[in-house]
Amino acid sequence: IEKTPDLQQILSGENASFTITVTNDGDVDLTNVTVTDALAPDCDATFASLAVDAVETYTCTVLDVTTDFTNTAVAAGDHAAGGSVTDSDTADVDVIDPAIDIQKTPDTQQILSGGSADFTITVTNIGDVDLINVVVSDPLLPQCDTTVASLAVGESFSYDCTADNVFEGFTNVAIVNAEDEEGNPVTDEDDAVLRIREPDEGQLPVTGSDTSELAVAGLLMVLLGAAVVRFERGLDDGTS
C-alpha cells in the first residue's frame, strides 16, 4: 500500500487529501482486501478480491484539519493457502500558519506647518513558514514603499522614510503583502496620525530660559510700580 503525498502543508481549517494505491505484488490472488486508517476513516475501503499484479487506487479527504498529524493506512488481504498478508504506509500533514506584522511609528506626531515628518517602518514574519515577495506600500507616502525578496520565520527589517513640506495633517496607512512558498497570501497594515500646528502670528517661540528672565523682569516692574504709588501718596500727604 502507498499513501501519498508523503508530506503536505495546509492552512489551519483546510482539508487534507490523499491518494491510496493498493497493489497485489505477490504471486497468488487475494480476497477480502481491506484498508483501514484510524485517523482518516474516510480512507477506509474494502475490495472483494485483488488478482496478482492488480491495482486499486482511490482518493480520500480529512476535513477541517487544525493540527499536525501522521496517519497510517493499513492494507490486509487473505490468500488461498489460508493465511493473510498486510502492509502499511504513513503520510504526514503539516498545518501551517503564515502571518506577517507591520508597525509604522510614531503612532501620532505633531509638526509645524511646512515641516518634515519622519517615520520608522518595521516588518516581522510572525508566522511559522518563510515568506517571499514582501511588498510594503503607502498610498499617501510612496517614498515609504519598499520590497524585500524573502523574510525567514522570526526575521524583521526596519527602515526610515520622510515626508517633507507638510502643510496639512493626515492619517496614512502602511500595508504589507507577502506569500509563503505555497502561494498562500498574508497581509497586515498599520496607520500613523500626523497633526499640523500653526505658529502663533506675531509671536516668537519662548524657551525655558527666556521664561525665567521674563518672570524676574515682571516681578521687578510690579515692585517698582508699587514703590511709585507709595511715593506719590506720600507727596499727597506731605510725608515723603
Considering only the C-alpha atoms of the chain, give the largest distance between any 2 of them, rounded to a whole number of Å. Answer: 146
Write out the three cell numbers for 65. 484539519
pTM over 0.75: no
What per-residue confidence (pLDDT) applies to 209?
41
Confidence class of residue 199 from pLDDT cuts 50, 70 and 90?
Answer: confident
Write out pLDDT tens, residues 10-23: 999 999 999 999 99
For cell 496517519, the residue is 71
Measure the CA–CA gap between 26 and 34, rounded to whole angstroms.
16
What residues have CB less than 8 Å from 62, skipping those under 6 apart?
15, 16, 17, 18, 39, 40, 42, 71, 93
What per-residue confidence (pLDDT) applies to 83?
93
Write out the three cell numbers for 213. 528672565
What per-residue confidence (pLDDT) applies to 191?
97
What per-residue confidence (pLDDT) applies to 240?
46
Q: Is the pLDDT of residue 239 over 90?
A: no
